[in-house]
Amino acid sequence: DAKTTQPPSMDCAEGRAANLPCNHSTISGNEYVYWYRQIHSQGPQYIIHGLKNNETNEMASLIITEDRKSSTLILPHATLRDTAVYYCIVKPTNAGKSTFGDGTTLTVKP
Amino acid sequence: DAGITQSPRHKVTETGTPVTLRCHQTENHRYMYWYRQDPGHGLRLIHYSYGVKDTDKGEVSDGYSVSRSKTEDFLLTLESATSSQTSVYFCASGGGMGGSADTQYFGPGTRLTVL
């Protein structure tokens, strides 16, 4: 699986958009980009995934660059409850193994 | 969220004793996973299963074994627990059906302390 690089921490003001970057420069053509988050001591929660097109759901938007070497998770209106560790991973379809890195700790401040 | 439960949620045991953790999912997912999470290490994959009786090792499989005799249950066994296996253990399951992407749904975790 391709490795990912994320900043260790970020802050965001409540109500503003949170933009979380992820670098995956060695991504292969069959690998999807997934985002999960983990709120303190809970199990990780799936947010969104994509292959090459931008994706949006009720939680977030995922912007993938044209060369697919990086992506950005956007939380459009961050709330205090969005404070969590956010993980970006890449994996092929139907592959069992996933490698979670250290993620980005997002702190939303009032 | 997928119906995925773990039992027990908390366990304290002594070094050298066997321990079995259970993961149960009600979504008929093909894949199931066991991870451990320690401070400073994030989530690390122990073992995973891609079907009944089909399992494979993850990155930190030494000292652990797994079994999957039914689609809905995935057991993690520590044959002889050691203090280094004190951790929070998360189970996950996911579809993996046909050509679809494999999203993982996580359980609430089991906090294991080995004294």
Q: What is the pLDDT of residue A45?
A: 94
Average confidence (pLDDT) per 10 residues, chain A, 110 residues = 87 97 91 92 92 93 96 97 95 72 94
CB contact under 8 A, A96 and B33: yes
Q: Where are the beta strands (DSSP E) in A1-110?
A: 9-13, 18-23, 31-38, 45-50, 55-56, 61-64, 70-75, 84-92, 104-109
Give the chain B residue nearest A102 (alpha carbons). Answer: B42
The fraction of chain B above a pLDDT of 70, given in percent, is 93
- Residue A81 CB neighbours (<10 A): 9
Cα distance from N-terminal residue to C-terminal residue, chain B: 34
Whether pLDDT at B1 is above 80: no
* Residue A7 Cα, gap to closest chain B Cα (Å): 14
Q: Report B:9-38 residues touching A (Cβ under 8 A).
A: 31, 33, 35
Tokens of B23: 């993961």
In chain A, residues 50-109 whose CB comes closer than 8 Å to chain B: 51, 87, 91, 93-103
Please name the amino acid found at residue A59: M
Report, as an integer, the average pLDDT of B54-58: 92
CB A97 within 8 A of CB A42: no
pLDDT value of position A1: 59
d(Cα A89, Cα A98) in Å, to the nearest integer? 7
The values of phi and psi at residue B105, to 5°, are -115, 130
The answer to whether the Cβ–Cβ distance between B48 and A96 falls below 8 Å is yes
Nearest by CB: A96 against B43, B56, B108? B56
**The pLDDT of residue A98:** 75
First to last CA, chain A: 38
Partner residue opposite B103 with nearest CB, options A43, A46, A101: A46
Minimal Cβ distance to B102: which of A93, A101, A102: A93
- Of the pLDDT bands very low, low, confident and very high (cuts 50, 70, 90), residue B2 is low
